[in-house]
Amino acid sequence: MIKYRLVAAAWRGLTALRNPRRVVFPVIALALMVLGGCVQSPDDVSQSKPLERILAAGEIRVITRNNAHCYYFYREQAMGFEYDLAKAFAKYLGVRLRVQIADKWEGMIPSIMNRTGDFIAASMTITPKRRKQVAFSDGYMEIQQHIIVHRNNTTVQTLEDLNGQNIFVRKGTSYQERLEELQKAGVKLFIYRMADVPTEDLIRQVEAGSIAITIADSNIAQMNRLYHPQIHIADPINTTEMLGWAVHPQADQLRERINAFFREIKVNGKYKKIYDKYYTDIEYFDYVDLRKYHRRLRTRLPAYKKLIMTAAERHGFDWRLIAAQIYQESHFNPKARSHAGAYGLMQLTVSTARSLGVKNIYNPKPNIYAGVQHLKNLWDYFDQIGDTDRLYFTLAAYNIGQGHIGDARKLAQKMGLDPDKWTSLAQTLPLLRYRKYYKDATYGYCRGTEPLEYIKHIMIYYDILKRQAIEYATDPEKNPEIYTTQH
């Protein structure tokens, strides 16, 4: 109606002119443009150029999911692989990140289409069906869908074994799409489409025996195998696919900036750093060890949990980190003794115990308190190192002594590597096994691969314990960068 009134007003002005021919064609052209929608209001321009709006507003809205691989809280700190990538992208653009939690998986694409969010970062697989709805960035992670069954299930291992089987998947996922394709191809399987039940929960149900089969992407499956060691990751049911971020089909400039961002962080190492934070050790799997660990968390840890919590709090450590280290040192056995002459829960040497005033080295309380004090002393010693690297330096020094760490740092500097980065020491510590390198070292030969394995295991054990404290509920009042949406 407004458009027609505008045209009518223009025509009235035209007829009032003495020589209307000079302006008749421009006015008619303007009228046609208005009627055709070629003249955009400021709101229309904002909608058609979302990148300009984002930069002008100084804020970008990411749509994601509240789960272990996208976005969650641990000790009141926002975390998650997708969240860290989105945070890095916001920094790349020079804007704030606003996190929008989709209440349902199916609600994410509608949020993009009605422009209540700017991009989806939620481990979303790029599929032909979704490409018809949204525009995807270039793929940033290769994944594959796998059959997930209980370890005792020996009858379902391959795609052909799915004939006649009941398979439970979350509704609206790429898993459902693939299973429906298999049905059309003649595989007689039965799909139970669960209304927004997280894949992680379906994996848990497989371990518990509540359901027999689900499907999960390889990254999700491998991550959850650490927490649910009774599951088995069987054969894939498709070829490899890619995860991508999704934007509105008209958001070409935003999509191009996302692609440029991913290209840059894959070159400068930022992507690898974020990837390693969440996925570096997921391919490691020792079923016997992890089953034993999960069992001893129930049977042995409770006896020492309060002591660990008290000692950790006194020195500013997460008690779960200390518990993970104790398990690596002694498997929660207070009478443990190593061939190298270390004793008790935290495997103190006699000299370290004596220096910290421990009289009964096997007594859990003084052993734990002294062990954590020793860890804190090492932490303070490496005060010039950035926090993440500092933790690895500290744990490595606890394992092999700070003298060897000093030798590895000197060697790193000699090789042109940054001596304050753990990635550098991960290269130089193993070299100290060879005479060519240790002959000039102050502390000589070192079993340099041992601290790498030591830290890897501790971080896996720590991650399993942390999962119990992950907060999935979000409170917009406590966390102003977050708001939720329901569909």
Per-residue pLDDT of the chain (487 residues; tens, 9 = 90+): 444 444 444 445 444 444 444 444 444 444 444 444 444 444 444 455 889 999 999 999 999 998 888 988 876 778 889 999 999 999 999 999 999 988 888 889 999 999 999 999 999 999 999 999 999 999 999 999 999 999 999 999 999 999 999 999 999 899 999 999 999 999 999 999 998 788 999 999 999 999 999 999 999 998 888 889 999 999 999 999 999 999 999 999 999 999 999 999 999 999 998 998 888 767 777 888 889 999 999 999 999 999 999 999 999 999 999 999 999 999 999 999 987 789 999 999 999 999 999 999 999 999 999 999 999 999 999 999 988 899 999 999 999 999 999 999 999 999 999 999 999 999 999 999 888 998 889 998 888 999 999 999 999 999 999 988 776 645 555 555 555 443 3
In 18-118, beta strands by DSSP E: 59-64, 72-74, 77-79, 96-102
**Structure-block tokens of residue 23:** 């302006």
- How far is the C-alpha of 144 from the C-alpha of 348, rounded, in Å? 45
Cβ 464 vs Cβ 86: under 8 Å: no
At residue 16, the pLDDT reads 46
In 41-137, beta strands by DSSP E: 59-64, 72-74, 77-79, 96-102, 119-125, 135-136
In 3D space, the residue among 74, 461, 75, 458 whose CA is nearest the CA of residue 297 turns out to be 461
For the chain, how many residues are written?
487
Cβ 451 vs Cβ 458: under 8 Å: no
CATH number among 3.40.91.50, 3.40.50.2000, 3.40.190.10, 3.40.50.720, domain 145-239: 3.40.190.10
Cβ 126 vs Cβ 241: under 8 Å: yes
Reduce the DSSP state of residue 161 to 3 states and report it: helix
At residue 484, the pLDDT reads 46
Cβ 11 vs Cβ 27: under 8 Å: yes
At residue 209, the pLDDT reads 95
Give the distance from CA 381 to its chain's centroid.
30
Reduce the DSSP state of residue 150 to 3 states and report it: strand
Asked whether the whole model's pTM tops 0.85, one would answer no
Reduce the DSSP state of residue 91 to 3 states and report it: helix
Domain range summary for the chain, segments of one domain joined by +:
2-39, 145-239, 288-467
- How far is the C-alpha of 361 from the C-alpha of 359, rounded, in Å? 6
Cβ 358 vs Cβ 349: under 8 Å: no
Number of other residues whose CB lies within 10 A of the CB of residue 486: 8
Cβ 251 vs Cβ 87: under 8 Å: no
**Buried b or exposed e, range 171-195, using 16+ CB within 10 angstroms:** bbbbbbbbbeebeeeebebebebbe
At residue 483, the pLDDT reads 52
Question: Which one of the listed residues 59, 106, 329, 453 is annotated catalytic?
Answer: 329
Reduce the DSSP state of residue 218 to 3 states and report it: helix
CATH number among 1.10.260.40, 1.10.357.10, 1.10.150.110, 1.10.530.10, domain 288-467: 1.10.530.10
Give the distance from CA 24 to its chain's centroid.
62
At residue 487, the pLDDT reads 36
Whether 329 is catalytic: yes
At residue 482, the pLDDT reads 54
